[in-house]
């Protein structure tokens, strides 16, 4: 069973139980109150009639005594009892008088009484009893009391038709069932629509979760309210965005790794093919000094390429896995050391290196930072013409950190290649790179070093105008 169906059924049943219980309690409470009032009224009226009969009998006995007449109580009751019911509704109140042997002296009650009449068992003279009994389809209240007139004892029974009280109760119960049927229909329809409407966001969440589980990471939940469910939908969308971003990142990582393997395989295949080919030539061909020397030269050259490639790969792997232990160093001092280290390469192409680095102390890993600058300066030297100039400039930026610029005026990089220059094995000029034993790993290594220093590296370049590499180290 779905959640909204459970909420609907639970709410509906709870309301029906509470509504029916409280309604029946109110009906029963009102009925008992009315019945108690009717009984109290009956007791009072029975007492009034009983007192009035005694008063009249006393007056009559006194009057007859004065004129020396004999008074008979039974005759008095037979002749006068009828007048005591004239003050009441003749259809509701009746009077019955019995002698001490329970024989009827007077009765206005139209029904037939049962033989077993518990209300007649009166023990004391002032004892009164009442009972409610159904007679011939109607309900009556019987109130009995002893009535002593002179030397004779009688029983006066007050009878009231209280069928209307029970009919009122039955009418209220009948009306309640009719109202309950109408309310049940309206409540069921209203609750169904209300709960279905309020839980629409949960259904959307369920559909979105199913779509995301099936690979639809761009699926989002429409937010239609600001309540708890709306907040849940907003959090779900944030989670979906994070999942989509992470999945895209993983896909990009897998793609990069596959590309890396493809490039690596290609780079290994070419020199290995050359080495195997020339080795087979030496093994099968007749000895010729020129051919022998040429083959060995190619084998040596390709072997050096493989050695260089293995060193570069080792650097990239080590840097990627390394957690450098940094210490505070002055960048200007390290930049000054680079000029001396690169002096042979600079002199070979008669290139001038201008170092203009401001003194600035920050957390660095010395060897990695020197490798970063060496790779960038090496690229600048290879890109520059003979007699060119390279500028290494370091500037302190207030409240931000330090910016290191390496600028050359060499061949430059086209705009479509700039976005890919940090990819492993990507080379702008494959012929020139092979001539310089380049594999496109230098800038990938630089990007890893900058990442370890939590910096940012950007490249600006134009063909035939030169290239500027800008590295920002933040505070």
The structural domains of the chain, ordered by start, are 3-170 (3.30.450), 217-322 (1.10.287.130), 324-473 (3.30.565.10)
Q: Which residues of 89-104 are buried (b: 16+ CB within 10 A; e: fewer)?
A: eeeebbbbbbeeeeee
Q: What is the pLDDT of residue 438?
A: 54
Measure Cα distances from 229 to 208, 233, 234, 350 in Å.
14, 6, 9, 71
CA distance 260 to 84: 120
Q: Supply 73's token pair.
A: 């109580």
Contact between 219 and 240 (Cβ < 8 Å): yes
Q: What is the pLDDT of residue 316?
A: 66
Q: What is the pLDDT of residue 24?
A: 93
pTM (two decimals): 0.51
Three-state secondary-structure class, residue 459: strand
Q: What is the pLDDT of residue 71?
A: 67
Q: Average pLDDT of the chain?
A: 85
Q: Which residues of the chain have pLDDT under 70?
A: 67-71, 125, 263, 267, 312, 316, 319-324, 427-440
Q: What is the pLDDT of residue 79?
A: 85
Q: Closest Cα to residue 106, out of 58, 155, 49, 148?
A: 155
Measure Cα distances from 253 to 213, 248, 249, 257, 325 in Å.
21, 8, 6, 6, 27
Q: Supply 247's token pair.
A: 């999945």
Contact between 41 and 33 (Cβ < 8 Å): no
Q: What is the pLDDT of residue 356?
A: 92
CA distance 335 to 312: 22
Q: What is the pLDDT of residue 70?
A: 63
Q: What is the pLDDT of residue 281?
A: 85
Three-state secondary-structure class, residue 226: coil
């Amino acid at each position: 069973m779905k959640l909204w169906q459970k909420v609907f059924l639970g709410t509906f049943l709870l309301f029906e139980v509470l509504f029916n219980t409280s309604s029946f309690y109110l009906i029963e409470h009102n009925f008992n109150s009315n019945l108690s009032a009717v009984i109290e009224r009956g007791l009072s009226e029975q007492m009034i009639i009983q007192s009035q009969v005694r008063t009249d009998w006393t007056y009559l006995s006194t009057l007859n005594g004065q004129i020396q007449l004999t008074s008979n109580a039974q005759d008095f009751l037979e002749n006068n009892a009828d007048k005591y019911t004239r003050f009441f509704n003749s259809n509701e109140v009746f009077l019955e008088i019995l002698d001490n042997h329970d024989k009827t002296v007077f009765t206005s009650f139209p029904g037939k009484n049962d033989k077993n009449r518990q209300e007649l068992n009166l023990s004391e003279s002032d004892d009164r009893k009442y009972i409610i009994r159904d007679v011939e389809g109607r309900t009556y209240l019987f109130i009995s009391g002893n009535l002593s007139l002179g030397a004779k004892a009688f029983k006066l029974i007050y009878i009231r038709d209280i069928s209307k009280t029970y009919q009122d109760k039955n009418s209220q119960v009948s009306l309640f069932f009719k109202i309950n049927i109408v309310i049940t229909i309206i409540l069921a329809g209203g609750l169904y629509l209300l709960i279905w409407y309020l839980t629409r966001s949960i259904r959307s969440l369920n559909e979105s979760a199913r779509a995301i589980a099936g690979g639809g990471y761009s699926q989002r939940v429409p937010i239609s309210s600001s309540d708890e469910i709306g907040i849940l939908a907003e959090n779900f969308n944030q989670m979906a965005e994070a999942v989509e971003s992470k999945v895209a990142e993983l896909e990009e990582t897998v793609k990069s790794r596959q590309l890396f393997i493809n490039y690596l395989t290609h780079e290994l295949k070419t020199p290995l093919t050359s080495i195997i080919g020339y080795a087979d030539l030496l093994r099968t061909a007749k000895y010729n000094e020129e051919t022998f020397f040429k083959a060995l030269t190619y084998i040596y050259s390709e072997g050096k390429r493989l050695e260089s490639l293995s060193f570069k790969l080792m650097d990239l792997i080590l840097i990627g896995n390394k957690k450098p232990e940094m210490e505070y160093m002055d960048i200007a001092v390290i930049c000054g050391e680079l000029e001396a280290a690169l002096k042979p390469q600079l002199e070979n192409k008669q290139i001038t290196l201008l170092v203009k680095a401001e003194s600035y102390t920050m957390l660095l890993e010395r060897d990695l930072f020197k490798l970063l600058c060496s790779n960038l300066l090496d690229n600048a030297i290879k890109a520059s013409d003979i007699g060119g100039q390279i500028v290494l400039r370091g500037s302190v930026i207030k409240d931000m950190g330090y910016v290191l610029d390496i600028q050359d005026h060499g061949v430059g990089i086209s705009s479509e290649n700039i976005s890919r220059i940090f990819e492993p094995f990507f080379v702008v000029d494959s012929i020139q790179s092979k001539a310089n034993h380049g594999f496109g790993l230098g800038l990938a290594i630089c990007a890893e070093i900058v990442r370890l220093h939590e910096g940012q590296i950007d490249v600006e370049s134009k063909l035939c105008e030169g290239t500027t590499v800008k590295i920002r180290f933040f505070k």
